[in-house]
Amino acid sequence: MTAKTVDEYIAGFPEDVQTILEKVRATIRKALPKCEETIRYGIPAFNAGGKTILYFAGYKSHVGVYPVTPDVKAHFKKELAGIKGGKGTIRFPLDRAIPYALIARIAKYKLSNNESPQRRRGRSESPSSL
């Protein structure tokens, strides 16, 4: 069963992971106060102006944040050093401290890039397209 709300999504995880996911959610909400929270592609997403700014998802051993585009990786290169990820993702291991302040900075950076004239002409990205 796919969650219909972010609350349902988070409730599907063990209690210790729920705590982390709630804090990630609160961090992004605070960083993106005007964004709409929803479920897209089965995971929590934050949208602005019809475009998804940021997704997050829980897994067995990490929390993923998407999409982390090359410009985001370049901008936060020093802070992301040593953090694993894929082409369009960052994976924060659950057995280490989650860098909530970094997640907030990434969210704000992505929103500011989304509002730039170049981004308005760009394509929408989903976790699966990265």
pLDDT per residue over 56-107, tens digit each? 999 999 999 999 999 999 999 999 998 988 889 999 999 999 999 999 999 9
pLDDT of residue 1: 62
Domain ranges of the chain: 6-120
Rg of the chain taking only CA atoms, in angstroms: 14
Tens-place pLDDT, residues 27-70: 999 999 999 999 999 999 999 988 999 999 999 999 999 999 99
Half-sphere exposure of residue 58, counting CA atoms within 13 Å on the CB side? Answer: 23
What CATH architecture does domain 6-120 belong to? Answer: Alpha-Beta Complex (3.90)
- 46 contact partners, CB below 8 Å, separation of at least 6: 28, 29, 32, 35, 36, 37, 38, 52, 53, 54, 55, 107
Which phi and psi (to 5°) does residue 4 adopt?
-100, -20
